[in-house]
Structure formats: C-alpha cells, structure tokens
Amino acid sequence: MVMETNGVSRSQAGSVDMESGRERVMRAAYALFSRDGIRSVGVDTVIAEAGVAKMTLYRNFPSKEDLVLAFLRRREELWTQGWVQREMMLRADTPAGRLLAVFDLFDEWFHCPDFEGCAFVTILLEVSDPRSPIRKACVQHLENIREILAKQAVEAGIEDADAFSRQWHILMKGAIVAAGEGDVDAAKRAKELALLLLRRHGVTA
C-alpha cells in the first residue's frame, strides 16, 4: 500500500512540490473546509497546512470569503459532478436506477473512516446571514444537485420533477445527517423510502 501524507501519496510528492501556490492553498482549504467547516478554520491554519507564505494566499484569494467561494466551486466539481453525477450515470442505465444509485454511493461513503458530510449543508448552517455570498453560493450548489435529480425524474416520466427532486434531496440530506450521527446504514434506510417514493409517482425500479 502506498503511504499517504495529507491525502497525497509519496509517488505524487514531486508533482505536489511543483504545484502553484494557488493550488497548494486550494488543496489545503479543500481538506480542511470539507472536514471542519469554515467557522473553526482560520486563514493561518490554511496557510500552515499548505506550507505557503501568507502573501501567496492573499495574492490568489484577497479574503477568506473568496477562498471559501473557490472551495465551494471545487467541491461541486469534484463531489457533485465528478463523483455523484458521474457514478449515477455509470452504475445504471435507467433513470430510476440512476436515482437509486445515489444511495448505493452514499452507503459506500458512509462506511469510509474519513466520511465528512455535505460541505454545502455544513457551511450553509454556519452562515446565517441570507445576504452573504457564501450562503447564497451554498443554496445555489444545493439547487444544482436538485437539477441533476430533476433531469432523471423527467426522463422517468415524473410529472412534477421539481417537487420530486426536492423530496429525493430531502432523503439524501437526511441520510447524510443520520450518518453524521453514526448510523452507517442510513443510506440503506433512505433507499427503502426512496423506493416507496418512486412507486408513489408510478415508477417501477
């Protein structure tokens, strides 16, 4: 097994050393914000984790808010699109199958020792000001997830795809919270409810 340090294997160490200062900051911020949220993680912590000078961070991200917004965009790229959406499409060839595949993915995720929860929800709850660009970004990123679900609902022939996607998303978010409590089988339980929801809408899995 390849030893890893801060999520980077030794075989990748050379390429990491050659990374731009911006990418080193982003890599550190991604790990810290995903695991701990943003309230408890200060800029100095990100700088120390990235191993860069303070000027490097501020040259690329003028404020912590800018860094958090960049993190949320990266999270959508890697988690929403690069993992959830990608795996949905790979694991099933029907709309209902793709929707249910979300809970199979989550079941694997919940059993990982480094399960960190949904960063969009975590940060949304940390920022209460509805005018905050960070809170608005979290709301938008969550909406983008529902758009992925709604597209599958449309293909499945569900009449009110928006309402369905909100119901499905509630199951997803509830499962994540339950897993955070320690229920590693939360995705299996949510999938049972998801099957009932599909049947209610006349869709056979």
User: Is pLDDT above 60 for 15?
Assistant: no
User: Is pLDDT above 60 for 3?
Assistant: no
Chain segment 125-177, per-residue pLDDT in tens: 999 999 999 999 999 999 999 999 999 999 999 999 999 999 999 999 999 99
d(CA 106, CA 40): 26
Instruction: Note the CATH architecture for domain 64-205.
Output: Orthogonal Bundle (1.10)
Supply the DSSP symbol for 7.
T
Question: Looking at residue 102, what is its pLDDT?
Answer: 98
CATH 1.10.357.10 domain extents, the chain: 64-205
d(CA 91, CA 101): 7
What does the mean pLDDT of the chain come to? 91
Question: Looking at residue 204, what is its pLDDT?
Answer: 87
Question: Full-prediction pTM beyond 0.85?
Answer: yes
Amino acid at 163: A
Q: Which is more confidently placed, 47 or 8? A: 47
Is 1-62 a CATH 3.40.50.970 domain? no
The answer to whether residues 20 and 106 touch, using CB atoms and an 8 Å cutoff, is no
- How far is CA 46 from each of CA 30, 33, 56, 68, 160, rounded to the nearest angstrom? 9, 9, 11, 11, 43
Question: Looking at residue 18, what is its pLDDT?
Answer: 56
Question: Looking at residue 178, what is its pLDDT?
Answer: 98
Reference 187, options 170, 167, 172; nearest CA is 172
The answer to whether residues 38 and 126 touch, using CB atoms and an 8 Å cutoff, is yes
Chain segment 47-66, per-residue pLDDT in tens: 999 999 999 999 999 999 99
Q: How confident is the model at residue 13 (pLDDT cuts 50, 70, 90)?
A: very low
CATH 1.10.10.60 domain extents, the chain: 1-62
